[in-house]
Amino acid sequence: MKVLAASLLALALLTSGAAAQTRFILGAICAFDIQQYCKDIRRSRTREVKECLAKNERNLFPRCQDHYKDAK
């Protein structure tokens, strides 16, 4: 039982860490594009930022386009 609880806790921590890392990388790599096209959206709203970038994907810098596609 303790092993199961520890495994679930580790899985929860890894999942939340991966989401935070994606948000950080997306914000770092696409900072200019987010400022240009998504400035009204708070960066903490990752899903809304991704939707905004998707709407403006043709206009994004290539580096952001490449990373954004991987982050989906």
Structure tokens at 43: 């960066």
> What pLDDT does residue 67 have?
83
pLDDT in tens, 26-46: 888 899 999 999 999 887 788
> What pLDDT does residue 32 have?
93
Structure tokens at 33: 């594009």
Alpha helices by DSSP H, listed for the chain, are: 2-29, 31-37, 46-55, 62-71
Residues with Cβ < 8 Å from 23, sequence gap 6 or more?
43, 44, 46
Neighbouring C-beta atoms of residue 31, cutoff 10 Å:
12
> What pLDDT does residue 27 have?
80
pLDDT in tens, 11-30: 444 444 455 556 667 888 89
Q: Where are the domains of the chain?
A: 2-71
Indicate the pTM of the whole model. Answer: 0.64
